[in-house]
Amino acid sequence: MNPAYTAAGEVREEYSAELLRGMLEIPSPSCHEGELAAFLAGAMTNLGFTAGVDSAGNVVGDIDRGEGPFIMLLSHLDTVPGQIPVRLAAGRLYGRGASDAKGPLAAMICAAASAAQFTGRIRVVGVVEEEVPSAKGAVAIRESMPPPDACVIGEPSGWSTVVLGYKGKLDLRYTVRCSAGHPTSPAPKATELVADCWAAVQDLTGPVSHTAFDLPGITLESFSGDTTYAEAKIGIRTPPGFDADALLAALRARLVWGTLTVTGSRAPCRVDRRNPAVRALTAGIRARSAQPALLVKTATSDMNTLAEVWDVPYASYGPGDSKLDHADDEHILLSDYFQAIAVLTYAIGELAGLPPGEVMHSGR
């Protein structure tokens, strides 16, 4: 018998905690996920998956349990830069990615391995470059694989909460180059023109908020340069119904100088709370004697990228507190992590009732 499993065929809590700790001890900033992908391919193989790393660098593990639906659980391998010493204190496991999103990914791996009642195929995917505009990993998955019958995205929602949608995002870079001249010259200065660009973004987007889902949010992510060359990076979080093309056209009309480049674009997405993925997760939460909460988020996830192409039932779920994402004290409560594994295991069993090979509309 595989020592990772209990007699009932579920992954032991001790193993699941060791798996997550091992993941946290491997740095995996965006574009440097190779070591973690290889580690997880080995860990999933040990748990009975057929696993490997694809050409994009994603780790992919399959469990085939006969005829039935095709379920995908997808989270990301990469983190923002900067390591946090991995340690366990008062039931909290600290480390970069504990919440965003190694905890959710580890929970998906353990749940898929534990879902012995599921008949069909379960695919767990850890994708690269979610934290950067490229979304390389999720783009490769949607282009190289058939759509599943349901898809759960692994992000920190809290173990008793399911996320129904995310704002989109436009990533802009504005660069200006001007002739050298004396500071008192009336000629345009690069720094001033970049400042004018930021003012135009503020004016054209109108009312903004980083807390309201139905309003855009804007951030001046970086600003550098001098009077001859300057550059700004601007992020615009876009709600459903936001006309990004109209904003870009109006902004370009204002910018007589310089070059405006779209470096990344993800459309907003929102799913119907009645879709099978949401229903399965909320049933799993109720089975743990909790009342499920439903939220929408003002950030983005790989759901945005996949939903541009795949019209399937989605939900986003995972242990962890999103307020700790990218924080210097990022951590996860192990008790919440274990609860999330149980919820996901239950939800996978619920999804066994989906018609195999008949992708159902997500109700976006």
Which of 114, 108, 112, 85 is CA-nearest to residue 21?
85
Name the 3-class secondary structure at 332. strand
Which of 284, 350, 22, 299 is CA-nearest to residue 156?
299
Element (H, E) at 103: helix 102-114
Element (H, E) at 298: none
Cα–Cα distance measured from residue 339 to residue 206, given in angstroms and rounded to the nearest whole number: 42
Rg (C-alpha) for the chain, rounded Å, is 22
Please check whether residue 196 is in contact with residue 348, taking contact to mean a CB–CB distance below 8 angstroms: no
Question: How far, in Å, are 110, 179, 297, 299 from residue 98 at the CA level?
Answer: 15, 48, 19, 18
Active-site residue 130, yes or no? yes
Indicate which residue of 10, 33, 129, 130 is catalytic: 130
Cα dihedral 293/294/299/304 (nearest 10): 140
Cα dihedral 37/52/152/1 (nearest 10): -100
Please check whether residue 126 is in contact with residue 76, taking contact to mean a CB–CB distance below 8 angstroms: yes
Indicate which residue of 33, 78, 129, 321 is catalytic: 78
- Domains in the chain with CATH codes: 13-166+268-351 (3.40.630.10), 168-266 (3.30.70.360)
Please check whether residue 322 is in contact with residue 297, taking contact to mean a CB–CB distance below 8 angstroms: yes
DSSP labels, 276-330: HHHHHHHHHHHHTT---EEEEESS--HHHHHHTT--S-EEEE-SS-GGGTT-TT-
Cα–Cα distance measured from residue 101 to residue 79, given in angstroms and rounded to the nearest whole number: 8
State the pLDDT at residue 360: 46
Which of 85, 110, 124, 69 is CA-nearest to residue 353?
69
Active-site residue 35, yes or no? no
Please check whether residue 96 is in contact with residue 80, taking contact to mean a CB–CB distance below 8 angstroms: yes
Which of 226, 167, 235, 178 is CA-nearest to residue 201?
235
The encoded tokens of residue 148 equal 């599943």
State the pLDDT at residue 302: 97
Taking only the tens place, the pLDDT of each residue in 294-346 is 999 999 999 999 999 999 999 999 999 999 999 999 999 999 999 999 999 99
Please check whether residue 136 is in contact with residue 272, taking contact to mean a CB–CB distance below 8 angstroms: no
Name the 3-class secondary structure at 149. coil
Residues of the chain with pLDDT under 50: 360-364
Taking only the tens place, the pLDDT of each residue in 48-64 is 999 999 999 999 999 99
State the pLDDT at residue 179: 86
Please check whether residue 141 is in contact with residue 91, taking contact to mean a CB–CB distance below 8 angstroms: no
Cα–Cα distance measured from residue 304 to residue 308, given in angstroms and rounded to the nearest whole number: 7
- In sign, the C-alpha dihedral spanning 312, 295, 238, 74 is negative
Backbone angles phi, psi at 139, to 5 degrees: -60, -45
Please check whether residue 334 is in contact with residue 91, taking contact to mean a CB–CB distance below 8 angstroms: yes
Question: How far, in Å, are 160, 170, 222, 292 from residue 262 at the CA level?
Answer: 37, 7, 15, 38
The encoded tokens of residue 175 equal 């660069």
Please check whether residue 325 is in contact with residue 157, taking contact to mean a CB–CB distance below 8 angstroms: no
Element (H, E) at 46: helix 34-46
